[in-house]
Chains A and B, each alone.
Chain A
Amino acid sequence: MMLSDTYTIFWREMKRYKKSRSGILIRLIQPAIWIIVIGNTFASTRPLIQSVGFGGSYIEFMAPGVIMLTAIFTSIFGGVNTLWDRRYGFMNKALAAPISRSSIALGKMLAISLISALQSSLILGIALALGVHISNLLIVLPIMLVVIAFSLGFSGISVIVAATSKSQETFWGVINFLGMPLFMLSPALFPLELLPHWLAFVARLNPVTYSVLLIRQMMTGTVQPFSIVLDVSVICLFVLAMVGLASYVFTREVNKPF
């Protein structure tokens, strides 16, 4: 029952996504600007990046970072419709129906992470069009799996914030406070090895770091087994924790008057 309930909500969210075609393109503009503008602005940092062992150009270095940027923001913004649903009565309709409550949260999160992967794959396409080289085209599939998993965790954060905020203003305030620092405090734009120690330490506490490192290894084809195991386990732990916490917080919060 739980599975089919989750699928029901997932189905609804995906229908809504499909009908908002303009949104799909608008959400691509920002990451596209990042990859084009920042990618070219910092092109001359190539010697710095090569000094820590990265062979390619700066755009190739930062492409995984921009894929993660897309994933972070698509998924962390994704929960906002929870607020609309509560305001406009869909939530009450669902809550007064026999459907299980945690599956409402799960269905939303699954839909958000799939949408996030779709958006990220478009950005990956743009990167390839700009001449970013990847080791093997088939590697796109595992990269997307990483993006889906990571986005599931981040959509959990989004659902938690949406379920506990009473207004749009609170939601956007908290989300913007979280999103940018999480992106910046990672090796998305610059190698960890070149950061001051304390910053590198903080970055190592950030799940974004592990996803960026993992995707960068996959794209360049320089896979180190130990690092892969570490990255994958950090991401898995993060996702499990967030999904669990989000469905707990969601079911608790929706029982309170909005």
Chain B
Amino acid sequence: MYAVETDKLSKIYHSGLKAVDEISIKIENGEIFGFLGPNGAGKSTTIMILTTLLKPTSGKANVAGYDVMTQAKSVRQNIGYVQQDSTVDEYLTGRENLELQAKLNHIPRDIIKKRIDDILEIVELVDRQNEAVVAYSGGMRKRLDIAGGLLHRPKVLFLDEPTLGLDIQTRYKIWDYIKKIHDEFRTSIFLTTHYMEEADKLCNSISIIDHGKIKITGSPKELKSALGNEMVVFELDSDKNLDKLISELRRIPTVKDISTDGSEITVFTTSGDQLIPQIFQNASTLEVKIESISLTKPTLDDVFLSHTGRDLREDNGKYDRKKERERIRKIRV
């Protein structure tokens, strides 16, 4: 049994927008799975389907062994969902918020107190538990949110951008909590994030989604080495003969992939030190001048960009009121 298993899952909105397009993913029990993609790629829609908040147009999805369509109630009993935006009640105290969460999740009355004490310990909010949340910082609210998602010991925890907008210290702390939770309760975690470092540090497995489709799946290490283990970045003085140079370089067997950004070229390769002289050779035959060159190792950022491209997701920057509203509505839910 998988923690999450989907088969050709699709969601088409009334506007005709295909937000999720035949996604098939398998997440092993106890795994931390990273779901990455640009804004509007379909991450939120997928999470909403998996947490039974939205019905898919077609395809199947099982969470914790239950079908999200026909066994929604059982799914709800076995998941925790921590949303991107804080959902705690500001005028309630930290403890009251957790009491509410415990009741929403049908935790038996006699163990609520102990569960809350335990979780407050983990997220280090014991001292502030009786203060109204309105006085909490962003990081404290997030910790309270995460605590709330864990209170009923769900089999699968959905974390939607858990560290968005938090400072670096808090972010590292939250990563520690996530790891601690994962080790202690063997919770399977479905995590979406924009921070590649976060995915790299936490996830056993990653899928990159764009335009509703899964582009690639694998462990962070696999994804990086699929691009070759090294990358050469160089800059030309002009983009004259740029295309010719690229097609020449593509013929070299150690070259895995090439991406360009203006006159800056990135070549993914398995052996960078041998490639550099070859680049110079090709450049001088084509009479192109290289301004600078460097050899680095690819990060997940590079993996992400090579699968999703560098284009911004705002459709040529043209402001279309209807589309914008559609987008906002999608993000909001």
A-side residues, CB < 8 A to B, are: 1, 4, 8, 11-12, 15-16, 19-20, 87-90, 92-99, 255, 257-258
Contact = CB atoms under 8 A, between A and B. Distances in A.
Given A11-B103, A19-B91, A257-B330, A95 B85 contact: no
Nearest to B148: A93
Contacts, number: 77
Contact of B104 (A1, A16, A99): A99
A148 B76 CA distance: 33
Nearest to B13: A257
Contacts of A15: 89, 91-92, 96
Contacts of A87: 332
B76 A258 contact: no
A89 B92 contact: no
A169 to B, nearest CB: 14
Contacts of B268: none
Interface of B: 13, 48, 51-55, 73, 76-77, 79, 81, 83, 85-87, 89, 91-92, 96, 100-101, 103-106, 132, 148, 329-330, 332-333
A97 B100 CA distance: 11
Point out which of B73, B76, B100 has the most chain A C-beta atoms below 10 A from its C-beta: B100
A95 B87 CA distance: 13
Given A96-B53, A97-B105, A257-B330, A20 B91 contact: yes
Contacts of A97: 76, 101, 104-106
B81 A92 contact: yes
B333 A258 contact: yes
A89 B52 contact: no
Given A15-B96, A257-B13, A93 B329 contact: no
B91 A92 contact: no
8 contacts: A8-B104, A12-B89, A15-B89, A15-B92, A92-B83, A93-B87, A97-B101, A257-B48
Point out which of B76, B77, B101, B104 has the most chain A C-beta atoms below 10 A from its C-beta: B104
Nearest to B132: A19
A4 B77 CA distance: 16
Given A92-B333, A98-B76, A255 B55 contact: yes
A82 to B, nearest CB: 14
Nearest to B80: A96
Contacts of B86: 89
Contacts of B96: 15
Contacts of A258: 329, 332-333
Given A15-B91, A20-B91, A8 B81 contact: no
B51 A96 contact: yes
B194 to A, nearest CB: 19
A96 B89 contact: no
Contacts of A94: 104
B179 to A, nearest CB: 24
Task: Give the 7 A-B CB pairs with smallest separation, nearest first.
Answer: A89-B87, A19-B91, A8-B103, A97-B104, A96-B81, A96-B51, A98-B76
Contacts of A257: 13, 48, 54, 329-330, 333
A98 B105 contact: yes
Given A92-B53, A93-B81, A255-B55, A12 B105 contact: no
Contact of A93 (B77, B83, B103, B333): B83
A258 B52 CA distance: 14
Given A12-B100, A98-B106, A99-B104, 18 more contacts: A8-B104, A11-B103, A15-B89, A16-B89, A89-B87, A90-B87, A92-B53, A92-B83, A93-B81, A93-B104, A93-B148, A96-B51, A96-B52, A96-B76, A99-B105, A99-B106, A257-B330, A257-B333
B111 to A, nearest CB: 15
A97 B55 CA distance: 16
Nearest to B52: A96
Nearest to A97: B104
A198 to B, nearest CB: 43
Contacts of A89: 83, 85-87
A132 to B, nearest CB: 35
B7 to A, nearest CB: 22
Contacts of B103: 4, 8, 11, 99
B281 to A, nearest CB: 56
Nearest to A18: B91
Contacts of A255: 55
B83 A19 contact: no
A19 to B, nearest CB: 4
A96 B87 CA distance: 13
A95 B53 CA distance: 7
A98 B102 CA distance: 11
Point out which of B52, B77, B83 has the most chain A C-beta atoms below 10 A from its C-beta: B83
A258 B81 CA distance: 18
